[in-house]
Structure 1
Amino acid sequence: MTDSLTEQILRVTDKLAAARELPAAAKAFGADSHGFHLGPPVPEAEVAAFEERHGVTLPAEYRAFVTRVGHGGPGPQGGAGPFYGLLPLDRWAEALELEPTDTVLATPFPVDPDFAYLDWWSEVGLGVDDEPFPGAIALGHEGCGHLSVLVVTGAARGRVSSTYWDGAGPQLSPAPDFLSWYENWLDTVLAG
């Protein structure tokens, strides 16, 4: 792990601990169920087995988070995180519309970060029998059927996206990676 990644992990860990101590933090959406707690980190061997089984390498920032900070948590929708909280890694397939297959994560996520879609479905060539959100793992429920996902395969690899169904399709977060997305959420919580 790089020094900058280690520094960011430590910063995120400190901010998460600070969020637990803020009285106003309990008012953050979802905090009543997760209390700014996460489940225990995932052992390296389990992450490696997940990657091998699905033919992917998890983005370094997410991998570092789940192996060093934690994943999932006490709430019915997971642990400390945006919206309803972060799902545990074993609930990765919740963003899929079709049954998961062994190759769905290795299939590129159908969004080009440099393209503005007007009619995403037709512009990426999705048919009615196609999985609209391959190449991504579910991070958490946003409400109204939308999820936050982490792109693990494709041009947007490493980015967090919301799975909107409108013509523009999934919307990528402006954050460059999972840890930046998560830290931005913590900064918002800590700012009140």
Structure 2
Amino acid sequence: MDAVDQGWAGVRQRVAALGAAPGNREVFGAFGHEWVLEEPLTEDALAELEAQIGVRLPEEYRTFLTQVGAGGAGPAYGVFPVRRVEGRWRWEGDGADLTDLTLLAEPFPEQGPDPETLAALLAECPEEESFDDDLDAFDTAYEAWDSRLADVLWAPERTAGAVAICHLGCAQREWLIISGPQRGRIWSDPRADEADLEPLVDDAGRPMTFGRWYLEWLGKAERAVGVAAGA
């Protein structure tokens, strides 16, 4: 039964039970979200959010927003909350500002930079040893190379149609695709390690939808802490 079918029944209570359980800090990222969920969005708030970004959110995520919460306790350091600030909606969190609110209705590009082009650029990374202790020359060369790499990996168009949904620490993040063929799925973002985005899959190689991503995290957290589901 997926998240849409079961309507997120009991999820807020399950998170609250984890928050009250001894040893809950053993779950990775718990100190970041403290097992706190934001209040759910009203239907009117959800409609206003979708009108602003120009696209209907994936069903599992939009029902999460109205039945569970606008963000908070969740995988890694938590689900980035979506909030209305000075009359405009935006996602907030460490790296949430990477979401380009003007590009969310555009289809997410499944194909990133050409792997051979990226590999060739990485091979050109300046080495300090090659500059005969001329640190200024090395810094200048490295900054120029890093700018070229950013143009390849970090162009705003690379994450069009996607929302930065959580961070894993060390500048690693995960994205929820909301437009295009990958709509509703989670992609991992290792660009801080000079690699392109890639689909997040389970041990069987199946793509992770938002609902499975969240509920599998919740089940693993319950097992780690020794809390029965629905307790």
| TM-score, shorter chain, exceeding 0.5 | yes
1:177 to 209, 216, 219: 209
Secondary structure in structure 2 of the residue aligned to 1:191: helix
Shift of 1:70: 0.6
2:34 maps to 35
CA deviation after TM superposition for structure 1 residue 155, in Å: 1.7
Give secondary structure in 1 for the equivalent of 2:181: coil
Match of 1:156 among 182, 189, 193: 182
Task: Confirm or deny that 1:139 pairs with 2:165.
Answer: yes
Could you tell me how far apart the structure 1 residues matched to 2:195 and 2:209 are? 21
- TM score, norm. by length of structure 2: 0.65
2:131 corresponds in structure 1 to none
Structure with the bigger percentage of helix: 2
Alignment of 1:37-186 (within 5 A): 37-72=36-71, 79-90=72-83, 91-92=90-91, 94-95=95-96, 97=98, 100=100, 102=102, 104-111=103-110, 118=115, 128=152, 130-131=155-156, 132-165=158-191, 169-174=196-201, 175-186=207-218
Between 1:57-66 and 1:154-163, the stretch displaced more is 154-163
1:5 CA drift (Å): 2.0
**Letter of the 2:106 counterpart:** T
Given residue 130 of structure 1, which amino acid in structure 2 is its aligned partner? A
1:85 Cα deviation after fit: 1.3
Identity between Structure 1 and Structure 2 (%): 35
Partner of 2:147: none
* Deviation (angstroms), 1:17: 3.1
Contact 1:150/1:178, CA 8 A, preserved across alignment: yes
Q: What is the aligned partner in structure 1 of residue 25 from structure 2?
A: 26
SS in 1 for 2:8: helix
Shift of the 33–176 alpha-carbon distance from structure 1 to 2, 3 Å rule, reads closer
SS at match of 1:9: coil
Structure 2 CA distance for partners of 1:12 and 1:171, relative to 1, 3 Å: farther
The reply to whether residue 16 of structure 1 matches residue 15 of structure 2 is yes
The Cα of 1:127 is off from its aligned counterpart by: 5.5
Contact 1:120–1:168 (8 Å) recurs in 2: no
Worse overlay, 153-162 or 175-184: 175-184
TM-score (norm 1): 0.77
Runs of 5+ consecutive residues of structure 2 not aligned to the other structure? 84-89, 120-149, 202-206, 225-231
Specify the SS of the correspondent of 1:67: helix
- RMSD of aligned residue pairs (Cα, Å): 3.1
- Number of aligned positions between the proteins: 177
